[in-house]
Copies of this chain bind each other. A is one copy, B any other.
């Protein structure tokens, strides 16, 4: 079992009410890969510039993350800078320098093409389909997208969604994509576009999953200190797809545990800047917090 992930590897400059981190490792594929690598080997496809250092690569080394697909291009690495509100519930993008990411065209190494799980980060939906054209016969294709593509390339996005098994997006994206405010109605519309399973991420309010088996709701883990929410959604996706791939089964019980595993990994991610907490994380810590999720949500029948 292995997961192919395609997405951004970036430098982030982040300001939160608790501090500032300058040019630290970020990007959807970075968070996803490290989270998923707790469960199965990960094959990363992305692009960095000539400024991308050995220090950042060290985050992936010594883990189950294959970097053959991490292209190094002439120029600077994608750089995102953002600032969070005092309550961490909203953020302003101060600048986005796409740099080498602007011309990113995912090339899937031959050794990756048999991947049985594929995660498409929120890149251009045309490029997402390009990835699917290069792989053989994945058992599961999971996908993220964002408001930029919903607004600007809806038709292309719909073509991509028709080939996707699981879509993971946040609640405002679900509303925008479906044109429905009510999330239950939004889920029905989106699932008719292709993805049989829709995972709606609601940040501090948890996750709703809609699948052929019905719906499932999980809270976010109530944390006393949320330090930096950057990457929480990608970390969720890494835990979710990673758990599914490791379980070698996509039944309802497994999907539900995968949601909780994604929430578990995300709850660690937000405890520090960048991937700092994830890189120190151990499997026993993960299992212990999963167990606490169970305590948090369990109730007996009548």
Contacts and interface: CB of A to CB of B under 8 A. Distances in A.
Interface string A172-194: 00000000011111000000000
A253 interface: yes
A299 B257 contact: yes
Contacts of A45: none
Nearest to A221: B217
A223 interface: yes
Interface string A264-296: 000000000000000000000001001100111
Contacts of A202: 205
A296 B216 contact: yes
Contacts of A217: 206, 219, 222, 296-297
Contacts of A291: 301-302
Contact of A222 (B86, B215, B224): B215
Interface residues of A, number: 39
Contacts of A224: 182, 184-185
Contacts of A205: 202, 205-206
B216 A181 contact: no
A234 B123 CA distance: 45
A256 interface: yes
Contact of A297 (B87, B183, B297): B297
B182 A299 contact: no
Given A205-B205, A205-B206, A287-B302, A184 B297 contact: no
Interface string A202-231: 100110100000111111001111100000
Interface of A: 86-87, 181-185, 202, 205-206, 208, 214-219, 222-226, 253, 256-257, 259-260, 287, 290-291, 294-302
